[in-house]
Amino acid sequence: MRVSIIGAPLAFGQTKAGVGLAPSALRKGGLVEALTQLGHTVVDEGDLQFPRGKLHEAEVELPEAEFDGARRNLFEEGDTTTTTLSASVTRVKNAREVGESCRLISQKVCRRAKEGDFCLTLGGDHSIALGSIPGILAARPDTALIWVDAHGDFNTPETSPSGNMHGMPLAMVLGYDTHKLPDFNWLLDEELRKLTPDRVALVGVRSLDAGERRLLKDAGVHVYSMSEIDRYGIGQVMDRAMTAINGDGRRTFHVSFDIDSIDPSEAPGTGTLVKGGLTYREAHTILEMVAETGLLTSLDLAEVNPELDINGQTTALGIELIASALGKSIF
């Protein structure tokens, strides 16, 4: 297999410096060598050059009237979940920078996918998926998505308590971008928006905001929480997830893997730690099982932050996980 490595050092979707250093750290940690040892031909595309700026200096204001109306439509009168929604947040942080960066990611991923390559996109924060997934869909429109994450990433500008774009990409690739954020006009192209909720499985979630909880239920995304993994085991959960989104086995898979899906004891180097996550073996099993189908054709790795890491532990784990996705196994 020919593997194209696409560095996407995007940090504007969240608040903590350091996540943009991950592609370089993964390369220095031996990523290319690990994939070459598995017999793959590796083409390193280098890091994309994104718009410059400072974290969260730029914000897009949303009209109060539109915001309030959208919030009323999302929550029924008397719904107690509204008590945890911040009515004061009417802005999206760094939307222009994220939008332009993701357009570049999408173009690069699409080109490499059309060449038949396995596309490995290295974040950066998880807003990179707003580029990688549309790029894959433009080249391989019948792709199914496995989103591995502690969080739902299903907020919208109306529901987000923080305004951080790394909490919105899964909703946005499914069409939840009602405010048509600046520099996201390119995402309105129908060729980039062929994903439907029935082809999406969210695995490992354990932290949801009130607004995204409601949206996920209404959307019909297949959600497999840590509670279900505890109850049934990761093997059974993954069998269910892959069958749900690809029952006839004709679709290819894209996996978007957020390193914070793993318990902080195993992956401390990330910006939004949540206790009670995947174990080391559960994380590997997810990627090994998808790899064994022979249908995995693209992968994101997001939210590794070398500046928050302990002795390179999370970076090393990221390399191991990528190797599992690309065929490394015990036998």
Distance CA 73, CA 70 (A): 5
The one catalytic residue in 158, 209, 303, 309 is 303
Task: Dump the DSSP string for 244-309.
Answer: HH-TTS-S-EEEEEEGGGB-TTT---SSS--SS-B-HHHHHHHHHHHHHTT-EEEEEEE---GGG-
Whether 284 sits among the annotated catalytic residues: the reply is no
Whether 239 sits among the annotated catalytic residues: the reply is no
Whether 153 sits among the annotated catalytic residues: the reply is yes
**Cα→Cα distances 176→70, 102, 185, Å:** 12, 16, 13
| DSSP bridge partners of 36 | none
CA angle 126, 15, 58 (to 5 degrees): 100
Whether 56 sits among the annotated catalytic residues: the reply is no
Whether 303 sits among the annotated catalytic residues: the reply is yes
Distance CA 107, CA 174 (A): 19
The one catalytic residue in 166, 222, 254, 284 is 166
The one catalytic residue in 125, 260, 288, 300 is 260
The one catalytic residue in 40, 126, 222, 254 is 126
The one catalytic residue in 45, 117, 153, 263 is 153
The one catalytic residue in 125, 149, 228, 300 is 149
The one catalytic residue in 125, 258, 288, 300 is 258
Distance CA 140, CA 119 (A): 12
Tokens of 75: 């929550």
The one catalytic residue in 151, 222, 254, 284 is 151
Whether 77 sits among the annotated catalytic residues: the reply is no
Residue 90 phi/psi, 5-degree rounding, is -130, 35
Tokens of 5: 């490595």
Task: Dump the DSSP string for 176-232.
Answer: --TT--TT-GGGG-GGG----GGGEEEEEE-B--HHHHHHHHHHT-EEEEHHHHHHH
Whether 222 sits among the annotated catalytic residues: the reply is no
Residue 96: CB atoms within 10 Å: 18
Tokens of 310: 């302990």
Q: Which residue has the tokens 């305004």?
A: 163
For residue 181, give the nearest of 52, 283, 59 by alpha carbon. 59
* DSSP SS3 for 29: coil
Q: Return the active site residues.
A: 126, 149, 151, 153, 166, 258, 260, 303
